[in-house]
Amino acid sequence: MTSTALVPQTTTDLANASLPELEAVIERGQQTFYEVGAALLTIRERRLYRDTHATFEDYCQERWDFGRHYANRLIESAEVIALLVPIGTKPPTNEAQVRELSPLKGEPEAVEAVWREANERAAEREQPVTAAVIREVREERAHRERPAGPRPIEHWPAATREAGRLLTAINEQTSRIQRRWQEAALALTEDERNVLVQQLGAAMHWLKRADKLQASAVRRQGAQQQPEAR
């Protein structure tokens, strides 16, 4: 039986705890998955597992019967919840909730915004904050923030539209030119092939320039469209 005196009481305690204290947290980990993840994170970062095992993965597997993926999920849960603690809202209470927030882990403000909005939406519906509600909010936010692409070529100004069509036609001919060149080269002398290579090189040079012009036009068009979308 683990003595409660050994169990750290706060996350600050966890960061400075000894291995026995951290293991005590894990042993009573049925209380909260967050504490288990935070304890595992500290053991991994401070390499405390090296007292008994060569790798953190071995430690998790042999000491706790945790597979690598499960241990990583617990740690990720702790990292996500740590982002929510400072804002004062009630943090997630199960792994399913945290899994829907995990894709935003690199964007602390997004984690906070999605969690807050999910809580508000659940309250309006008079239902719990489920993983499905969090996913719904996250996906809606991603859709709102997705940058608008360039307009279809049919909506471009007339001169740009015509240039785009010509460039498209040129690109479609590129593979045919290469195929015909290979066929023709078989019937030419070496000098004639050299001349053909020079001509083909000049043509490819202009094709590359045309591609750059096309890409530049698309970027300009997209830049013009984005303010309109806002």
At 66-93, the pLDDT tens digits run: 999 999 999 998 999 888 877 667 888 8
170 versus 104: the higher-pLDDT residue is 104
Q: What is the rounded CA–CA span in Å between residue 77 and residue 102?
A: 7
Q: What is the rounded CA–CA span in Å between residue 133 and residue 227?
A: 31
Question: Whose CA is closest to 6, among 23, 59, 35, 49?
Answer: 23
- HSE-up of residue 111 (Cα within 13 Å, Cβ side): 25
Residue 118 CB burial class (10 angstroms; 0-12, 13-18, ≥19): buried
Q: What is the mean pLDDT of residues 167-196?
A: 69
pLDDT, residue 59, reads 96
pLDDT in tens, 189-198: 777 767 767 7
Q: Does the pTM of the predicted model rise above 0.85? A: no
Q: What is the mean pLDDT of residues 199-218?
A: 70
Question: Whose CA is closest to 38, among 58, 56, 53, 23?
Answer: 23
